[in-house]
């Protein structure tokens, strides 16, 4: 890790949190999606984070989709309903997404605060050298 390693670590956290927030937003935007029972339902996306081997922060190693069965709803008036009056709902748990949203936004804020504090500390150190 270089002289500005703390900033690099925190920036990797900001980037990871930003990706996580994007996935959560996508999930919430599609939470009310309905499909016919013979189609693939919308499945929540989950961001997979991995620590960098050199201790230099975190990276997004991938995005996976949930494989939990999609819930069915009885709505015979829905144009997508099958012969039994069933439609598939999106495989998104809004309560889980909202909890993840809070955690991801705190993750983003904290890493951004570390970047700001480190930059201020480095600037203060430079001012000492100038004085």
- Give residue 80's domain range: 5-130
DSSP state of 70: P
Give me the number of domains the chain comprises.
1
pLDDT at residue 123, as a whole number: 86
State both tokens at 27.
């999930």
Its pTM stands at 0.85
The sign of the dihedral angle between the CA atoms of 114, 119, 125, 131 is negative
pLDDT at residue 2, as a whole number: 59
C-alpha closest to that of 47 among 56, 39, 58, 55: 58
pLDDT at residue 56, as a whole number: 81
* Interatomic CA distance for residues 38 and 40, integer angstroms: 7
pLDDT at residue 3, as a whole number: 59
pLDDT means per 10 residues, the chain with 131 residues, are 77 94 97 96 96 86 93 95 96 97 96 90 82 61
pLDDT at residue 100, as a whole number: 97
């Amino acid at each position: 890790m270089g002289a500005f390693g703390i900033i690099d670590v925190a920036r990797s956290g900001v980037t990871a949190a930003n990706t996580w927030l994007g996935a959560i937003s996508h999930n919430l935007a599609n939470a009310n999606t309905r499909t016919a029972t013979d189609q693939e339902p919308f499945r929540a996306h989950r961001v997979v984070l991995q620590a960098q081997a050199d201790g230099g922060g975190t990276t997004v190693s991938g995005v996976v989709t949930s494989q939990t069965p999609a819930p069915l709803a009885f709505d015979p008036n829905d144009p997508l309903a099958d012969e039994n009056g069933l439609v598939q709902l999106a495989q998104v748990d809004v309560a889980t997404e909202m909890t993840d949203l809070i955690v991801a936004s705190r993750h983003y804020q904290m890493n951004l605060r570390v970047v700001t504090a480190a930059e201020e500390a480095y600037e203060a150190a430079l001012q000492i050298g100038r004085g």
